[in-house]
Structure 1
Amino acid sequence: MRVLQHTFAVALIFSATSIVYAQAAPDASVAAARTSQRGTVKSITGTTLVIATDAGVQYTVSADAPAKVVVLAPGSTDLKTAEPGTLESISVGDRVLVSGKPGDANAIMALRVIVMRSADIAQRNAAQQADWQHRGSGGIVSAVDPGTGSITIKVGSRTLQLVTSPKTIYRRYAPGSVKFEEATASNLQQIMVGDQLRVRGDKSEDGTSITAEEIVSGAFRNVAGTIASIDAANSSLTVKDLATKKNVVVHLTPESDLRNLPAQMATMLAARNRGGAAGAGGQRPAGAPAAATPAPAEGAAAPGPGGPGAGRGMGAGRAGGGDLSQMIARLPATTLTELKPGAALMIVASQGAPSDPLTAVTVLSGVEPILAATPSGSQPMSLSPWNLGAGGAEAGGGGPQ
């Protein structure tokens, strides 16, 4: 999945900007004659701005006097903190919230322009991402207690308690969507057992709990199985789910992340999942593909601590059920045309209604040894829906991307 950290920050920033605008809104009689639009500055000619909204609609903004220009720091929710600006201080790429009188077609005669400079947004994005890497963790929700506001998540074989408060920020992926920009403001009540979740906050000294400042969740489904058929024309796969023994249709989008696990790495993970047994032996679950004897993958490195990108993801992919996300961003990319019927896959996908097809977030091939090493009736290692920055769950994870 493509990196979405920039979108993540901008979504929060302009949610805050909307609050600012609402706080400073005029009375109803004046508001009726006004319009407002927010977007990115595409061009500047004299006193005229062309902005594009997030939906791709362009507006021509006349910023002649008496238009008031103010500069707001990213993340600020109070217009009183804004600093006076000028039209000349606005640059292409800046984010703006324009309010004024509607003109013909997509024209606005600006009365006020609130500016968030692209350079300030980039600086904030970098700081946010560093904080997610330093103080982020994540896993699968195993319990939610609305009474106490606590959430329990499974991180590999461990459990982690999340302590929420009225100040906790919640965001949630839209049903059936793999795009973070479509995530919306959420709350504790929307988080369900089985959801995948990322959290940012301070850990307790013993590492068993986190005081949650920000939570991002989604109803994602993990599927492990073999390819029954491929529909290249419709960019979809039919996969026989080894858990349910039923076929499921999985659609791929340009945002779907297809990766291939090198044979040597798959064998090592299989041994860990089995509890340290040899990579090619052992009893395989009914219906699981037999593990071929793997050849060493050129350049493959053992997962785990040390080396570039060590410790990626929600968990460490250890024995007893872990999370392969720590290494996905470093794996070779693949394409739908390279997949063949009968091949084993591990998939994390989003879904709208229970009867809707799945939409692939991550598709991992080359996992035959892992599925063969999974004891009958147990869950294989899980994937997470996010490609994560450095610093795993036990060392602090990367932010949603």
Structure 2
Amino acid sequence: MFKNSGFFRAVVLGTGLIVSIAALSVGEAIALAQSPAAASAAVRQIGTVKTIAGNSVTLTTDAGQEVVVSVADGARILQLAPGSTDLKTAQTITLGDIAAGDRVLVSGKAGDGGAGLTASRVILMKSSDIAQKHEAEQGDWQKRGTGGIVSAVDAGAGSVALSVGAKKLTVKTSSATKFRRYAGDSVKFEDAKPGTLAQIQVGDQLRVRGATSDDGSSIQAEEVVSGSFRNLAGLIATIDAAGGTLTLKDLATKKTVTVKITDNSSLKALPPQAAARFAARAKGGGGDSQAPAQGAGQAAGGGERTGGTGHSAGTDLSQLVSRLPSQGVADLKVGDAVMIVASQPDSAVSQVTCVTLLSGVEPILAATPSGGPALTLSPWSLGGGAAEGGTQ
């Protein structure tokens, strides 16, 4: 029934690009630790404050462990603004200023038997300040962010050619550009690792934030987030609910693929009316007369859109997916038509890990038997789920 889902390959970059800096703020600020004292500290821990009792602070580290920290008398307690990397800008505070949810870096000595930590210095970022920074970052990504599929990389020129729907965009990088890279089954921003331009490959999905040129043909990148994902579409052949796996015959490759569902996988179901509407747009008939919301898949610089109403169905589809209720493996059945964005950390292993799965898409796939406009759903789950805007 479905010959090719070429549109699905132009994977999604857009839904929910709300950058959560909560996990990375202190870690970056600890570039902070520029002083000899920090470098020579016997023990350091980074985490989120869970509880406080007297001079005892319990942290949940970024590795998920709980550490009890005893703050020594006379310990330096400093507060930094999110994003700051200079301890000279820190404000001296007291232990009483620390609250649950705050992000901290503690330095000191291990307790007796290696249990716990006696801190001689605590560097803190308030959760409220992080939330404000988060909101500002979110707004900037909505205003100056866009994304697409990497079509070429010029390492010498420091540039990346990006396909954003039908539009071509040149991403220009510099020594100041911040790169982050996804791996494994998580596309949460806090799980992304510092990356480099050299890691970006043709076919990768990439989001970029920066200043777009006046003609919309290029963007000077301040931050780049990229990842390599597989895009699958077809009918579910088998389901192993106990094992958390399913198989389907991918329409593009004609190969049967085993997909692992994990706790990080996002499973959604598209309502029939919505599926019919997007299918109509994919055919060029236009599903409705509503003006599009400012959306995740919008081309940079207000670039062209496709579809019967003059905008990409993928734009609104990406936004809609982020707002749909979640479902589980038990809600799926053999024969369901699905679109899947999956990661494959180890290319030697045939099994892939589901990042995003959307069921109820049979009308959409049937509407584009030989490929078509970029009807896409996003693999990104970068700290939030609201629709993300394209560059204006």
What TM-score do you get using the length of structure 2 for normalisation?
0.85
What residue in structure 1 maps to residue 27 of structure 2? 15
What residue in structure 1 maps to residue 370 of structure 2? 376
- Give yes or no for contact 1:177–1:351 (8 Å, CA) kept in 2: no
Asked whether 1:340 is paired with 2:333, we answer yes
Mapped partners of 2:242, 2:38: distance in 1: 54
What's the offset of the Cα at 1:63? Answer: 1.6
Specify which of 214, 218, 237 is matched with residue 227 of structure 2.
218
Question: Kindly tell me: are residues 61 and 27 of structure 1, through their superposed partners in 2, closer, same or farther at Cα, counting changes over 3 Å?
Answer: closer
- Give yes or no for contact 2:181–2:195 (8 Å, CA) kept in 1: yes
What residue in structure 1 maps to residue 8 of structure 2? none
- Give yes or no for contact 2:297–2:318 (8 Å, CA) kept in 1: yes
What's the offset of the Cα at 1:151? Answer: 1.0
Asked whether 1:88 is paired with 2:76, we answer no
Specify which of 173, 188, 193 is matched with residue 182 of structure 2.
173
Mapped partners of 2:69, 2:96: distance in 1: 14
Question: Kindly tell me: are residues 72 and 48 of structure 1, through their superposed partners in 2, closer, same or farther at Cα, counting changes over 3 Å?
Answer: same
What residue in structure 1 maps to residue 173 of structure 2? 164
Question: Superposed, which structure 2 residues align to 1:97-112 within 5 Å?
Answer: 97-104=105-112, 105-112=114-121
- Give yes or no for contact 1:17–1:77 (8 Å, CA) kept in 2: yes
Q: Deviations over 1:302-332 (max 9, x none)?
A: 59635xxx23322488349845313212335
Specify which of 209, 223, 240 is matched with residue 200 of structure 1.
209
- Which of these two proteins has the greater Rg computed from alpha carbons? 1
Mapped partners of 1:158, 1:304: distance in 2: 23
What's the offset of the Cα at 1:355? Answer: 3.4
What TM-score do you get using the length of structure 1 for normalisation?
0.83
Asked whether 1:191 is paired with 2:188, we answer no
Mapped partners of 1:3, 1:364: distance in 2: 15
Specify the code of the residue in structure 2 equivalent to 1:384. Answer: S
What residue in structure 1 maps to residue 73 of structure 2? 65
What's the offset of the Cα at 1:116? Answer: 0.8
Specify the code of the residue in structure 2 equivalent to 1:375. Answer: P
Mapped partners of 1:232, 1:27: distance in 2: 49
**Partner secondary structure for residue 63 of structure 1:** strand
What residue in structure 2 maps to residue 285 of structure 1? none
Task: Report the count of equivalent residues.
Answer: 364
Question: Kindly tell me: are residues 302 and 333 of structure 1, through their superposed partners in 2, closer, same or farther at Cα, counting changes over 3 Å?
Answer: farther
Asked whether 1:253 is paired with 2:273, we answer no
Mapped partners of 1:230, 1:243: distance in 2: 21
- Give yes or no for contact 1:266–1:367 (8 Å, CA) kept in 2: yes
Asked whether 1:40 is paired with 2:48, we answer yes
Q: Which has the higher contact order (CA 8 A, sep 6+)?
A: 2
Question: Superposed, which structure 2 residues align to 1:131-150 within 5 Å?
Answer: 131-150=140-159
Note the aligned Cα RMSD (angstroms).
Answer: 2.7
- Give yes or no for contact 2:150–2:162 (8 Å, CA) kept in 1: yes
Specify the code of the residue in structure 2 equivalent to 1:305. Answer: A
**Partner secondary structure for residue 162 of structure 2:** strand
**Gap runs ≥5 in structure 1:** 278-300, 396-401
What's the offset of the Cα at 1:3? Answer: 7.2
Mapped partners of 2:338, 2:226: distance in 1: 24
**Gap runs ≥5 in structure 2:** 1-14, 300-304
Specify the code of the residue in structure 1 equivalent to 2:92. Answer: P
What residue in structure 1 maps to residue 294 of structure 2? 311
Q: How many percent identity over aligned positions?
A: 52
